[in-house]
Amino acid sequence: MQRVGFILKVKKELLEEYKGTHKNVWPEMQQALRDAGWTNYTLFAREDGTLFGYLETEDFEKSLEAMDGLDVNTRWQASMVPYFEQLEGRRPDEALYQIEEIFHLD
């Protein structure tokens, strides 16, 4: 199982609204993530908008590929674009800054 950590930056002034959107993630989006192999997917946010995401999957690249092109993912990503800084023309799921795992306590 591959453990993946990533960082994104939510606009500070939109952080509360962003958190609100995640209280009602579309059921079809949740199922698409599960079907693509995303497990234990969790998001954490700091007050300054720094977002840390964590998930476990068999193969992160394959799980991203499985989501790419799905209508539900395209719609979800488009709805998330306004919340983020530094996307540089990319969707949020294309702009994930993956961070290196350096320790794991079994």
Positions marked active-site: 22
Strands (E), the chain: 2-9, 39-45, 50-57, 97-99
Dihedral angle sign, alpha carbons of residues 4, 87, 29, 36: negative
In angstroms, rounded to a whole number, what is the distance separating the alpha carbons of residues 91 and 64?
A: 12
In angstroms, rounded to a whole number, what is the distance separating the alpha carbons of residues 41 and 89?
A: 25
